[in-house]
């Protein structure tokens, strides 16, 4: 049950797919969140008494409830089971035997120590897809190292290029390394589930955090090897891409304007009342604008600071110039585009009442993804799942509870 009644039925493209989620924090659970948003039944296994540490994370915990957990735990069923015990491992194996996917982000070798290596699990369930997220992957000399998202961001090349050139390497204000690895794991899982329709066999999806970060680093490697060019920190800009920056407004706001393409720059020049800039040899081409990036940025800033943010947005939109305010949550909640697409949805929480959060993305025209309920209470679904899915009866559950297994 949710705070206001029965849980909604999943209608997404993965409806009917069962996922067992093991692991904790972000990299593995965010993969489970994505699969749950797409309609999968996600059974999350948590340590009795404590659960996923995400239940305690976040800058604000009203009434003792983690708002972060409400998001990353959404659309999941919580089952408490001590995986460090033989009986707990047997519970997991019984659940996995009738599931399609397992996700985990333990240090490589942990499942193997518990007798849940892929060969063993797939012998009972040949179609099983095992999605494994770790710092350095399941193979290689670093595979056994502890690997957090921040380390993957550093080694994957992201940290070096983030921030102002006058400061040490910075971080993005979210756990981007973990979520990238989870996204790649989810993509790989979807590919493996699709391939299974042809072969009837499952496989292992191996997502390493440092490789997920490396995977989105554009052309930094060939730039270094072929052109001997090293990207550096460049603050709010990309070197040679101009004008594309954050500019001030008269009322103290900041506006991002992206007009680096030739035709778009011509429209910006017209909006600035200086259409001649588009044919000026100093700014006529992409390369020329990049070579005079600071000069051009100063000219655009002199223009934007004469307008309040709303008036500037309207002016540039009238000229078909890409423009946007630097949003904070309050801006998102009042934006008509967010409202029209239900980009933020309200979910019923049994303790907190109504909790707004980002919707499930992307949108599908026929079998859409959805947020059906927020992160559940610890062990909320233990009896339901172990009875209906794993086949335990009331006496079995009483014994497991007495032994501290569930």
* Alpha-carbon gap, residue 257 to 254, rounded angstroms: 10
Adjacent-strand bridge partners of 61: none
Spell out a b/e string for 155-180, using b for 16 or more CB atoms within 10 Å of the CB, else e.
bbbbbbbbbeeeeeeebeeebbbbbb
Rounded to a whole number, what is the distance in angstroms from the first to the last CA of the chain? 21
pTM of the model: 0.93
pLDDT of res. 58: 86
pLDDT in tens, the chain (406 residues): 444 456 778 889 999 999 999 999 999 999 999 999 999 999 999 999 999 999 999 888 898 899 999 999 999 999 999 999 999 999 999 999 999 999 999 999 999 999 999 999 999 999 999 999 999 999 999 999 988 999 999 999 999 999 999 999 999 999 999 999 999 999 999 999 999 999 999 999 999 999 999 999 999 999 999 999 999 999 999 899 999 999 999 999 999 999 999 999 999 999 999 999 999 999 999 999 999 999 999 999 999 999 999 999 999 999 999 999 999 999 999 999 999 999 999 999 999 999 999 999 999 999 999 999 999 999 999 999 999 999 999 999 999 999 999 9
Tell me if residue 275 falls in helix, strand or coil.
helix
Active-site pick, 37, 52, 100, 178: 178
Instruction: Give 378's Cβ-side CA count (13 Å radius).
Output: 16
Max alpha carbon distance in the chain (Å)? 84
C-alpha dihedral (282, 286, 292, 297), degrees to nearest 10: 110
Query: Three-state SS across 204-216?
Result: EEEEEHHHHHHHC
Which residue matches tokens 């006496």? 395
Q: Is the dihedral of CA 256, 339, 362, 372 positive or negative?
A: positive
CA 35 to each of CA 17, 71, 131, 217: distance values in angstroms, whole numbers, following the listed order: 9, 13, 12, 25
**Lateral strand order in the sheet of 323-325:** 244-248, 254-258, 323-325
* Alpha-carbon gap, residue 235 to 107, rounded angstroms: 35
pLDDT of res. 176: 97
Pair 109, 147: CB distance under 8 Å = no
Q: Which two tokens stand for residue 374?
A: 């927020």
Q: Which two tokens stand for residue 317?
A: 């939109």
Could you give the domains of the chain? 18-216+339-402 (3.40.50.10540), 244-248+254-325 (3.30.1540.10)
Angle at 145 between CA 116 and CA 59, to 5 degrees: 95
Catalytic residue list contains 37: no
Residue closest to 20 by CA, chosen among 83, 88, 76: 76
């Amino acid at each position: 049950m949710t705070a206001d009644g029965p849980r909604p039925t999943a209608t997404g493209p993965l409806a009917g797919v069962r996922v067992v989620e093991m692991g904790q924090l972000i990299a593995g659970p965010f993969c489970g969140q994505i699969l749950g948003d797409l309609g999968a039944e996600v059974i999350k296994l948590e340590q009795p008494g404590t659960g996923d540490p995400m239940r305690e994370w976040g800058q604000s915990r009203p009434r003792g409830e983690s708002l972060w957990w409400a998001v990353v735990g959404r659309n999941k069923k919580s089952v408490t089971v001590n995986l460090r015990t033989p009986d707990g491992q047997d519970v997991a194996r019984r659940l996995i035997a009738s599931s399609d996917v397992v996700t985990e982000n333990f240090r490589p070798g942990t499942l193997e120590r518990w007798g849940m290596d892929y060969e063993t699990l797939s012998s009972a369930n040949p179609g099983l897809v095992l999605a494994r997220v770790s710092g350095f992957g399941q193979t290689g000399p670093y595979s056994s190292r502890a690997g957090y998202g921040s380390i993957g961001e550093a080694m994957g090349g992201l940290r070096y290029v983030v921030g102002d050139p006058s400061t040490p390497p910075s971080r993005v204000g979210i756990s981007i390394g973990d979520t990238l690895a989870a996204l790649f794991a989810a993509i790989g899982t979807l590919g493996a589930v699709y391939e299974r329709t042809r072969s009837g066999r499952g496989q292992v999806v191996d997502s390493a955090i440092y490789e997920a970060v490396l995977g989105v680093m554009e052309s930094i490697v060939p730039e270094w090897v072929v052109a001997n060019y090293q990207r550096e920190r460049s603050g709010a800009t990309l070197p040679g891409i101009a004008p594309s920056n954050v500019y001030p407004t008269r009322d103290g706001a900041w506006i991002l304007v992206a007009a680096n393409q030739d035709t778009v720059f011509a429209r910006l020049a017209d909006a600035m009342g200086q259409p001649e800039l588009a044919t000026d040899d100093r700014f006529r081409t992409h390369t020329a604008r990049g070579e005079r990036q600071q000069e051009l940025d100063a000219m655009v800033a002199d223009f934007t600071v004469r307008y309040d943010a709303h008036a500037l947005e309207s002016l540039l939109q009238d000229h078909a110039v890409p423009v946007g305010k630097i949003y904070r949550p309050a801006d998102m909640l009042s934006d008509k585009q967010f409202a029209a697409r239900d980009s933020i949805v309200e979910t019923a929480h049994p303790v907190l009442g109504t909790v707004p959060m980002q919707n499930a993305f992307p949108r599908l025209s026929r079998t859409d993804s959805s947020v059906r309920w927020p992160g559940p209470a610890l062990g909320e679904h233990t009896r339901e799942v172990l009875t209906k899915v794993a086949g335990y009866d009331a006496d079995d559950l009483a014994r497991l509870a007495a032994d501290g297994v569930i």
